[in-house]
């Protein structure tokens, strides 16, 4: 008789039967099941009311040990960061941070002029740091961020549930609208077990309303109405969807700051650009050029969806959380990291099914060749964008009218968003190399067309120019009543 870890855990939580678990322990070679059976006399500590991963770790100690390893910092050629020491202060107690991208690349600071990311944008590091890095980023000093930011930077399921008095969606709505400084008091952990696993069955589940609503909108665009991800997704799909709860593009809708994934037209950058154009959305007005600009956020899910691995049914978890043997136990690796740092289990195991001679060295070389080519294209696209921004800035200083610059500004909006889409995406093109190359080619093209439009206001670009209205002014704050 063969029992899986998840089945054994589900039986324990659902039935609480010591006899049944003893039977499983006796009839399976999986030490993980034996560990659960050894705790059969203890009360089951896990539920949807417990978000502390250390408590879940009492039942799943090996998974928890691996989960905690995300504190390790090791860079690859194009991503991650070694720990950069800093002196803790009362305002920011961190003793290490990751390296600053805006200090290393003036192009990023230039393209984000007037936006908080020009102040602080750093290399990625492990999930263990997601809450503290958002809490102490200098962006918090530049702009009053909303509670919606917690969606991708904390364990939020229990906070949403408590804030909504049992209704996760209502809690999501309430926390979205809070000031970040107030909302962050409601969470205690970075992403944790409860965010991806049902507290009773241990089954994978999507816990974030923003993804539930976003994937429903995307499926509706494909003719599938009323899609319910937790009831209709396959097990393999869930191995990508739980990651897509955070690793996505999004925006804050309306004064209520509702977190929305802009997928109602599709997942490609062109679809998302069209969505934003249709609703007249801008993240900010570029300080130097006056362009109605957009800021892309970590769209790994969207780019992966366009790539060869997605088409082959290979999910995020297959590469970033592959099957491993840890301390004699076969389990899913919960040390989430770049597959380049774990090539043998993340890449070689699968590729050797098709080519028994493949090696780690060869696969690493393939990855870096893809990323080298991507980075070269990225540099060309960035150079073109810098040229457009410089031309627009000069034209504005020379007194050119808004009407004369409207076409060039819209082309900056497109060029910048396309470039940022693959810049903010953390695979350096690997998730979908051909699509990433296409996106960068389009970005470069829009920048060069924008430069033509600056020189000749009568120039007709290859895309329709969309007027993006200025956002409505915030209502004036009423003076306090006299006492």
pLDDT in tens, 17-26: 333 333 333 3
Which of 221, 247, 218 has its CA nearest to residue 229?
A: 218
pLDDT at residue 61, rounded to an integer: 98
Share of the chain above pLDDT 70, in %: 89
Which of 205, 210, 181, 182 has its CA nearest to residue 193?
A: 205
Range of the domain at 23: 1-43
Query: Per mean pLDDT, which range of 71-85, 164-178, 313-327 is the poorest?
Result: 71-85
In degrees rounded to 5, what are phi and psi of residue 321? -140, 60
- Tell me the mean pLDDT in the region 302-316: 97
Residue 34 or residue 165, greater confidence: 165
In degrees rounded to 5, what are phi and psi of residue 106? -65, -25
Could you tell me if residue 195 is inside a domain?
A: no
Q: In the numeric block, which tokens belong to residue 57?
A: 């770790």
Could you tell me if residue 4 is inside a domain?
A: yes
Within its chain, how far is the Cα of 209 from the centroid?
15
pLDDT at residue 43, rounded to an integer: 81
pLDDT at residue 56, rounded to an integer: 98
**Burial status of residue 428 (CB atoms within 10 A of its CB: 0-12, 13-18, 19 or more):** buried
Within its chain, how far is the Cα of 115 from the centroid?
19
pLDDT class for 35, splitting at 50, 70, 90? low
Q: CA-CA distance, 345 to 352, in Å (whole number)?
A: 11
pLDDT of 440 > 70? The answer is: yes
Residues sharing a CB contact under 8 Å with residue 475, sequence separation 6 or more, in sequence order: none
pLDDT class for 42, splitting at 50, 70, 90? low
Could you tell me if residue 427 is inside a domain?
A: no
> Mean pLDDT of all residues in the chain?
91
- Tell me the mean pLDDT in the region 404-431: 98
pLDDT of 67 > 60? The answer is: yes
Q: Which DSSP helix (H) or strand (E) runs through 331?
A: strand 329-332
| Angle, CA 91 vertex, CA 85 and CA 92 arms, to 5° | 25
Could you tell me if residue 172 is inside a domain?
A: no
pLDDT of 475 > 90? The answer is: no
Q: CA-CA distance, 212 to 347, in Å (whole number)?
A: 30
Axis-axis angle for helices 5-15, 31-38 (nearest 10): 20
pLDDT of 34 > 60? The answer is: no
pLDDT of 149 > 70? The answer is: yes
- Tell me the mean pLDDT in the region 237-266: 98
| 210-234: pLDDT as tens digits | 999 999 999 999 999 999 999 999 9
- Tell me the mean pLDDT in the region 30-58: 75
Could you tell me if residue 300 is inside a domain?
A: no
pLDDT at residue 80, rounded to an integer: 87
Which of 131, 151, 126 has its CA nearest to residue 321?
A: 126
Query: Per mean pLDDT, which range of 3-17, 99-113, 129-143, 343-357 is the poorest?
Result: 3-17
Query: Per mean pLDDT, which range of 28-42, 95-109, 174-188, 257-271 is the poorest?
Result: 28-42
pLDDT at residue 474, rounded to an integer: 57
Split into its structural domains, the chain has a count of 1
**Burial status of residue 263 (CB atoms within 10 A of its CB: 0-12, 13-18, 19 or more):** buried
pLDDT at residue 9, rounded to an integer: 41
Q: CA-CA distance, 121 to 113, in Å (whole number)?
A: 13
Residue 410 has a CB neighbour count (10 Å cut-off) of 23
Q: CA-CA distance, 57 to 83, in Å (whole number)?
A: 26
pLDDT class for 107, splitting at 50, 70, 90? very high
pLDDT of 477 > 70? The answer is: no
pLDDT at residue 218, rounded to an integer: 98
- Tell me the mean pLDDT in the region 154-160: 98
Could you tell me if residue 7 is inside a domain?
A: yes
pLDDT class for 325, splitting at 50, 70, 90? very high
| 348-363: pLDDT as tens digits | 999 999 999 999 999 9
Tokens 């439009």 label which residue?
Answer: 453
- Tell me the mean pLDDT in the region 133-156: 96
pLDDT at residue 472, rounded to an integer: 80
Q: CA-CA distance, 448 to 292, in Å (whole number)?
A: 18
pLDDT of 6 > 70? The answer is: no
Residues sharing a CB contact under 8 Å with residue 312, sequence separation 6 or more, in sequence order: none
Could you tell me if residue 11 is inside a domain?
A: yes
pLDDT of 305 > 70? The answer is: yes
Could you tell me if residue 28 is inside a domain?
A: yes
């Amino acid at each position: 008789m063969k029992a899986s870890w998840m089945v054994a855990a589900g039986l324990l939580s659902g039935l609480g039967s010591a006899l049944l678990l003893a039977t499983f322990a006796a009839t399976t070679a999986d030490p993980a099941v034996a560990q659960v059976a050894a705790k059969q006399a203890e009360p089951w500590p896990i539920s949807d009311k417990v978000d502390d991963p250390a408590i879940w770790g009492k039942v799943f100690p090996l998974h928890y040990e691996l989960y905690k390893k995300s504190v390790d910092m090791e860079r690859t050629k194009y991503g991650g960061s070694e720990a950069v020491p800093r002196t803790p202060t009362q305002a920011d107690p961190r003793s290490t941070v990751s390296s600053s991208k805006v200090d290393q690349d003036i192009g990023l600071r230039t393209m984000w002029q007037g936006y908080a990311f020009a102040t602080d944008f750093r290399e990625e590091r492990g999930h263990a740091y997601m809450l503290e890095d958002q809490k102490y980023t200098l962006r918090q000093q530049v702009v009053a961020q909303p509670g919606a930011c917690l969606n991708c930077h904390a364990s939020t399921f229990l906070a949403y549930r408590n804030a909504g008095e049992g209704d996760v969606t209502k809690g999501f709505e309430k926390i979205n609208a809070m000031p970040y400084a107030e909302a962050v008091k409601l969470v205690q952990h970075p992403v944790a077990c409860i965010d991806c696993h049902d507290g009773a069955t241990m089954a994978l589940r999507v816990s974030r309303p923003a993804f539930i609503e976003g994937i429903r909108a995307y499926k509706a665009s494909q003719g599938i109405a009323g899609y319910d991800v937790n009831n209709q997704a396959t097990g393999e799909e869930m191995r990508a969807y739980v990651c897509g709860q955070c690793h996505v593009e999004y925006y804050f809708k309306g004064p209520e700051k509702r977190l929305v994934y802009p997928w109602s037209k599709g997942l490609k950058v062109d679809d998302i650009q069209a969505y934003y154009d249709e609703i007249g959305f801008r993240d900010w007005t570029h300080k130097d050029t006056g362009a109605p600009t957009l800021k892309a956020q970590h769209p790994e899910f969207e780019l992966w969806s366009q790539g060869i691995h997605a088409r082959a049914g290979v999910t995020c978890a297959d590469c970033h959380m592959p099957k491993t043997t840890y301390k004699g136990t076969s389990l899913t690796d919960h040390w989430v990291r770049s597959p380049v740092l774990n090539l043998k289990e993340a890449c070689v195991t699968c590729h050797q099914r098709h080519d028994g001679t493949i090696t780690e060295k060869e696969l690493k070389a393939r990855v870096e060749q893809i990323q080298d080519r991507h980075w070269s294209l990225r540099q060309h696209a960035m150079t073109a964008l810098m040229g457009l921004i410089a031309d627009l800035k000069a034209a504005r200083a020379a007194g050119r009218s808004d009407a004369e610059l409207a076409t060039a500004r819209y082309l900056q909006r497109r060029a910048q968003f396309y470039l940022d889409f693959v810049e903010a995406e953390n695979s350096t093109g690997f998730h979908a190399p051909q699509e990433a190359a296409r996106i960068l080619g389009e970005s470069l093209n829009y920048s060069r067309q924008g430069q033509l439009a600056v020189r000749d206001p009568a120039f007709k670009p290859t895309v329709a120019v969309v007027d993006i209205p200025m956002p409505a002014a915030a209502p004036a704050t009423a003076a306090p009543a006299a006492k």
